[in-house]
Protein backbone atom coordinates (compact mmCIF):
# COMPACT_ATOMS: atom_id res chain seq x y z
CA UNK A 1 0.00 0.00 0.00
CA UNK A 2 2.76 2.44 0.94
CA UNK A 3 4.74 1.59 -2.19
CA UNK A 4 1.69 2.46 -4.34
CA UNK A 5 1.46 5.90 -2.71
CA UNK A 6 5.15 6.57 -3.37
CA UNK A 7 4.73 5.45 -6.98
CA UNK A 8 1.75 7.78 -7.48
CA UNK A 9 3.63 10.65 -5.83
CA UNK A 10 6.67 10.04 -8.04
CA UNK A 11 4.57 9.97 -11.22
CA UNK A 12 2.78 13.17 -10.14
CA UNK A 13 6.12 14.89 -9.56
CA UNK A 14 7.35 13.81 -13.01
CA UNK A 15 4.17 15.16 -14.65
CA UNK A 16 4.53 18.49 -12.83
CA UNK A 17 8.21 18.70 -13.79
CA UNK A 18 7.41 18.01 -17.45
CA UNK A 19 4.65 20.64 -17.42
CA UNK A 20 7.04 23.20 -15.89
CA UNK A 21 9.68 22.40 -18.52
CA UNK A 22 7.15 22.89 -21.36
CA UNK A 23 5.99 26.18 -19.83
CA UNK A 24 9.55 27.51 -19.56
CA UNK A 25 10.31 26.42 -23.12
CA UNK A 26 7.14 28.05 -24.47
CA UNK A 27 7.73 31.33 -22.65
CA UNK A 28 11.37 31.49 -23.73
CA UNK A 29 10.51 30.96 -27.40
CA UNK A 30 7.49 33.29 -27.37
CA UNK A 31 9.47 36.19 -25.95
CA UNK A 32 7.84 36.00 -22.53
CA UNK A 33 11.05 35.49 -20.54
CA UNK A 34 14.04 37.72 -20.25
CA UNK A 35 14.50 41.25 -21.52
CA UNK A 36 13.03 42.27 -24.82
CA UNK A 37 15.79 42.61 -27.37
CA UNK A 38 15.45 45.31 -29.97
CA UNK A 39 14.94 49.04 -30.11
CA UNK A 40 11.91 50.90 -28.82
CA UNK A 41 9.85 53.27 -30.97
CA UNK A 42 6.40 54.75 -30.43
CA UNK A 43 3.36 56.14 -32.23
CA UNK A 44 0.47 58.34 -31.13
CA UNK A 45 -3.06 57.44 -32.23
CA UNK A 46 -6.39 59.20 -31.87
CA UNK A 47 -8.08 55.80 -31.43
CA UNK A 48 -6.43 52.47 -30.59
CA UNK A 49 -9.58 50.34 -30.48
CA UNK A 50 -8.84 46.91 -29.02
CA UNK A 51 -5.06 47.12 -29.46
CA UNK A 52 -3.38 45.76 -26.32
CA UNK A 53 0.07 45.22 -24.88
CA UNK A 54 1.64 42.09 -26.33
CA UNK A 55 0.07 42.59 -29.77
CA UNK A 56 2.21 41.85 -32.81
CA UNK A 57 3.99 44.49 -34.87
CA UNK A 58 4.16 43.21 -38.46
CA UNK A 59 5.94 44.23 -41.63
CA UNK A 60 4.69 42.57 -44.84
CA UNK A 61 2.73 40.17 -42.61
CA UNK A 62 5.85 39.01 -40.74
CA UNK A 63 6.16 39.66 -37.01
CA UNK A 64 9.03 42.10 -36.41
CA UNK A 65 8.13 43.37 -32.96
CA UNK A 66 5.72 43.58 -30.06
CA UNK A 67 3.61 46.32 -28.50
CA UNK A 68 5.08 46.81 -25.02
CA UNK A 69 2.55 49.20 -23.51
CA UNK A 70 -0.17 51.72 -24.32
CA UNK A 71 -0.57 54.94 -22.35
CA UNK A 72 -2.72 58.05 -22.63
CA UNK A 73 -0.89 61.34 -23.15
CA UNK A 74 -2.64 63.68 -20.66
CA UNK A 75 -1.76 66.80 -22.67
CA UNK A 76 -2.92 65.74 -26.12
CA UNK A 77 -5.43 63.04 -25.05
CA UNK A 78 -3.92 60.71 -27.64
CA UNK A 79 -2.99 57.09 -27.04
CA UNK A 80 0.74 56.42 -27.20
CA UNK A 81 1.69 52.89 -28.21
CA UNK A 82 5.26 51.86 -27.45
CA UNK A 83 6.77 48.91 -29.27
CA UNK A 84 10.02 46.98 -29.49
CA UNK A 85 11.31 46.27 -33.01
CA UNK A 86 13.78 43.53 -33.96
CA UNK A 87 17.24 45.15 -34.24
CA UNK A 88 17.79 43.49 -37.65
CA UNK A 89 14.90 45.55 -39.07
CA UNK A 90 15.88 49.13 -39.82
CA UNK A 91 12.82 51.27 -40.57
CA UNK A 92 13.06 54.43 -42.71
CA UNK A 93 12.05 57.60 -40.83
CA UNK A 94 9.02 58.18 -43.09
CA UNK A 95 7.48 54.74 -42.44
CA UNK A 96 3.77 54.48 -41.68
CA UNK A 97 2.21 52.44 -38.87
CA UNK A 98 -1.48 51.57 -38.73
CA UNK A 99 -3.76 49.53 -36.51
CA UNK A 100 -5.15 46.56 -38.42
CA UNK A 101 -7.67 43.83 -37.59
CA UNK A 102 -6.38 40.26 -37.32
CA UNK A 103 -9.75 39.02 -38.54
CA UNK A 104 -13.38 40.10 -38.49
CA UNK A 105 -13.80 38.88 -34.93
CA UNK A 106 -10.16 38.76 -33.84
CA UNK A 107 -7.80 41.16 -32.14
CA UNK A 108 -5.68 43.91 -33.59
CA UNK A 109 -2.02 44.38 -34.45
CA UNK A 110 0.22 47.13 -35.79
CA UNK A 111 1.18 46.97 -39.46
CA UNK A 112 4.21 48.92 -40.67
CA UNK A 113 4.59 50.14 -44.23
CA UNK A 114 8.21 51.18 -44.83
CA UNK A 115 8.89 54.55 -46.40
CA UNK A 116 11.62 55.56 -48.79
CA UNK A 117 13.75 57.88 -46.65
CA UNK A 118 17.51 57.40 -46.65
CA UNK A 119 17.89 57.65 -42.87
CA UNK A 120 16.48 55.14 -40.39
CA UNK A 121 14.52 55.52 -37.17
CA UNK A 122 16.63 55.68 -34.04
CA UNK A 123 15.75 54.12 -30.67
CA UNK A 124 13.15 56.28 -28.96
CA UNK A 125 11.86 57.74 -32.25
CA UNK A 126 8.19 58.30 -32.94
CA UNK A 127 6.25 57.47 -36.12
CA UNK A 128 4.97 60.63 -37.79
CA UNK A 129 2.64 58.84 -40.22
CA UNK A 130 -0.05 56.90 -38.35
CA UNK A 131 -3.52 55.54 -39.00
CA UNK A 132 -5.69 54.75 -35.99
CA UNK A 133 -8.17 51.97 -35.51
CA UNK A 134 -11.28 51.89 -37.67
CA UNK A 135 -14.57 51.51 -35.81
CA UNK A 136 -16.06 48.66 -37.83
CA UNK A 137 -19.40 48.69 -36.03
CA UNK A 138 -19.64 52.48 -36.48
CA UNK A 139 -19.07 52.11 -40.23
CA UNK A 140 -21.73 49.42 -40.47
CA UNK A 141 -24.11 51.66 -38.52
CA UNK A 142 -23.50 54.54 -40.93
CA UNK A 143 -24.32 52.32 -43.88
CA UNK A 144 -27.47 50.95 -42.27
CA UNK A 145 -28.66 54.32 -40.91
CA UNK A 146 -27.05 57.14 -42.91
CA UNK A 147 -27.06 60.50 -41.16
CA UNK A 148 -28.36 63.39 -43.25
CA UNK A 149 -27.94 67.12 -42.83
CA UNK A 150 -30.64 69.62 -41.77
CA UNK A 151 -32.55 69.23 -45.03
CA UNK A 152 -33.96 65.80 -45.68
CA UNK A 153 -34.20 65.25 -49.45
CA UNK A 154 -36.63 62.35 -49.13
CA UNK A 155 -38.00 61.23 -45.81
CA UNK A 156 -37.63 57.62 -44.78
CA UNK A 157 -41.36 57.27 -45.47
CA UNK A 158 -41.06 58.33 -49.12
CA UNK A 159 -43.08 55.36 -50.38
CA UNK A 160 -46.20 56.15 -48.31
CA UNK A 161 -45.99 59.85 -49.27
CA UNK A 162 -45.70 58.87 -52.95
CA UNK A 163 -48.70 56.59 -52.60
CA UNK A 164 -50.79 59.40 -51.10
CA UNK A 165 -49.85 61.92 -53.81
CA UNK A 166 -51.75 60.24 -56.68
CA UNK A 167 -54.88 60.05 -54.50
CA UNK A 168 -54.88 63.84 -53.97
CA UNK A 169 -53.87 64.70 -57.56
CA UNK A 170 -57.28 64.07 -59.18
CA UNK A 171 -58.99 66.27 -56.61
CA UNK A 172 -56.68 69.24 -57.18
Tell me the pLDDT tens digit for each residue of 4-38: 888 989 899 999 999 988 888 776 666 554 455 88
Q: d(Cα 22, Cα 85) in Å, to the nearest integer?
A: 26
Which has the closest alpha carbon to 68: 95, 96, 46, 35? 35
Sequence-distant (6+) residues with CB within 8 A of 37 are: 84, 86, 87
Contact predicate 115/129, CB 8 Å: yes
- Using CA atoms, how far residue 109 sits from 24, 84, 165, in Å, is 25, 13, 54
Phi/psi for 169 (5° steps) reads: -65, -45
Strand order from edge to edge, sheet including 96-101: 39-45, 78-85, 62-73, 56-59, 108-113, 96-101, 129-131
Q: For residue range 95-121, what is the model confidence (pLDDT) as tens digits?
A: 999 988 887 777 889 999 999 899 999
Largest CA distance in the chain: 107
pLDDT bracket for residue 165 (50, 70, 90): very low
Give, rounded to a whole angstrom, the gap between the first and last alpha carbons of the chain: 106
Q: What is the pTM of this model?
A: 0.60
106 membership: H or E segment, kind and range: none
6 membership: H or E segment, kind and range: helix 2-30
Mean per-residue pLDDT, 54-66: 92
Residue 168 has pLDDT above 50, yes or no: no
Amino acid sequence: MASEQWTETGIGALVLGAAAAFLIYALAHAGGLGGSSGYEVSAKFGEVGALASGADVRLAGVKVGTVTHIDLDPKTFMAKASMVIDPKIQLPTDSTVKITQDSLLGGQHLAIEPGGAADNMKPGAQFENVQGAVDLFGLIGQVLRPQTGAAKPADAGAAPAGAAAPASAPGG
